[in-house]
Every structure is written in structure tokens, then in C-alpha cells.
Amino acid sequence: MGLGVLRLSGMKVAPALSTWRTTINTLRKRPPTHPGAILREDVYPTLQISVSEFARHLGISRQTLHAVLSERSAISPELALRLGTFLGNGPQLWIEMQSRYDLWQAERKLKKILSRIPAYSDLLTA
């Protein structure tokens, strides 16, 4: 068996579970990128329009868009729909990025509290 690879009849099938766990744990140490940063750094420059024009096309205020671009505000489901329609990539991408970002932040904030909450399944076996 190769390092971190599951083999069936000599065929390489998939990375072993331990490899996936290591990868996931490594990724959890690094916060997900705020979707506003992706919008600011990767998407907006390619549009070649002003922030005011971008906001106008989305039907939101320039201040609202700026708050997202500066990572002070989250992308709401409504804004995700607007972005997805305007950019042609759908709302799900924006919602998932925001959700990953929010969940990572909440997990760090509640780390000590969560470690004290028992799993329900553990209560059943006790």
C-alpha cells in the first residue's frame, strides 16, 4: 500500500482516509477567504467598471458594496442572488463561501464551549 493511497488489486483508487483528515485539519487552521476579498481581488478588476456602476447594476448602494468588498459585511442570500445573476455564476457559490467563512469564525469563537458539549451518541452509551 502506497503512502496515503488506497490500492485495490494494484490499482490506485483514492487517498487513504488519514490523508484526507490531515488535509482537512491543515485547511481548518487557515481561515477561509472572505467572499468580499475574492470579489475585490479576483472578480471586480476583470469587470472594468467603477464601484458605483457595479453597485448600480446589482441594485444596491455603493456603501453596501464597499462594506462587502472591505470585508466588513457578509454576503447575504439576497446579495448572493444579485451577484450570481450579474456574474452568471449563480448564488450558491457566494452563499457557500460566506457560510464556510462564518462557520470557521464561529468555530474559533466557540472552541472552548464546544469542547465541553457532549455528543448525544456518547450519552446513549454511558
Give the sign of the dihedral formed by CA 40, CA 45, CA 50, CA 53: negative
β-partners of residue 6 are 14
Q: What does pTM read for this prediction?
A: 0.73
pLDDT digit of tens for each residue in the chain (126 aa)?
344 444 445 555 455 565 655 555 555 678 999 999 999 999 999 999 999 999 999 999 999 999 999 999 999 999 999 999 999 999 999 999 999 999 999 999 999 999 999 999 888 886
Nine-digit cell string for 39: 470579489
Query: Which domains are assigned to the chain?
Result: 35-109 (1.10.260.40)
Interatomic CA distance for residues 23 and 91, integer angstroms: 27
